[in-house]
Amino acid sequence: MVPLLRFTLDLFAAEADTPKSPQPGGVYVPGEPLASAIAPTVFRHLRANREIRIAQAEVTYEFLRARRRTIGFSVGPDGLSVRAPRWTPVSEVEAAIQQKGRWILEKLDALRQRRERLESARIEWFHGATLPYLGGQIVLQLDPEHRFVGKGAALECHGAALHALHIGLPFSAQSTQIRDAVQAWLMSQARQNFESRIAHYAPLLGVSVSALKLSNAGTRWGSASANRTIRLNWRLIHFRQPVIDYVVAHELSHLRVMDHSPRFWETVASVVPDYSVLRAQLKDESVPRW
């Protein structure tokens, strides 16, 4: 008998399946068969050591034995991972995978679509290219004559129109030179933005920050340490200001509650009431690849 399962939801977790209701007249209409819902495909884990066929999909996954009482599933950036107690037969593990097959394939398919969106959003570094900035778009303009105040780059704004980022580089500049100049400017803007929002939210939460450090982490937007140091990913500058504010408030709230208990989320909600909506946007929106 398959033991009680505990399913570990990851960053891309979705809402639980809604029970199906009979149609008018009492006629029950079944859902779409799993085999027809998922096109034949292959999902591979980077460190796969087992494979299984679910409907028409071939799934390779990472299988680990662990000191636990239940079988656990997670779908992360690398693919499907399955952890099971040492005493659980492989046949029961595979039966559990099949039982949760629809959920697994939906998560893996969502992960693949997210990767495709990220790849399509990859920035091309040339004169006239665009990139997201504070939820809008800016166009890169090489400016060999450096007709702006300041060093490196400067943003030229024209009301609600597309803003132009003037970069003090010749038209012959290499893509890496353009990228580095833009990154330096974005990091400078990110620091100014974060410092301003920390100054706004810290007093409201009754906390103080000893240092702000910019992060370049691949999968983490921020962190807070016991010594009151806040780390924020500079790539947040691509998002709308309310989303940035949520992350700032999130990390500052950790200076009061160093976990994700209900008391922590109540602390976040005290300054960002719609944090759940902004949190979802942070997960769903694609950040451009560099």
Indicate whether 9 pLDDT > 70. no
CA 269, 275, 279, 284: dihedral to nearest 10 degrees? 160
Query: Torsion-angle region of residue 134: left (phi > 0), alpha (psi -120 to 50) or beta?
Result: left
CB 110 within 8 A of CB 284: no
CA 192, 195, 201, 206: dihedral to nearest 10 degrees? -170
Q: What is the pLDDT of residue 203?
A: 97
130-284 to CATH, choices 3.40.50.970, 3.40.190.10, 3.40.640.10, 3.30.2010.10: 3.30.2010.10
Q: What is the pLDDT of residue 159?
A: 60
Residues 6+ apart with CB under 8 A from 137: 130, 131, 162, 163
φ/ψ of 289, rounded to 5, equals -80, 145
The model's pLDDT over 151-207, given as tens digits with 9 standing for 90+, comes to 789 998 766 566 899 999 999 999 999 999 999 999 999 999 999 999 999 999 999
The model's pLDDT over 98-146, given as tens digits with 9 standing for 90+, comes to 999 999 999 999 888 877 776 666 788 999 999 999 998 899 999 988 8
CA 241, 245, 246, 247: dihedral to nearest 10 degrees? 100
Residue ranges covered by each domain of the chain: 34-120, 130-284
CB 176 within 8 A of CB 161: no
The model's pLDDT over 219-267, given as tens digits with 9 standing for 90+, comes to 789 999 999 999 999 999 999 999 999 999 999 999 999 999 999 999 9
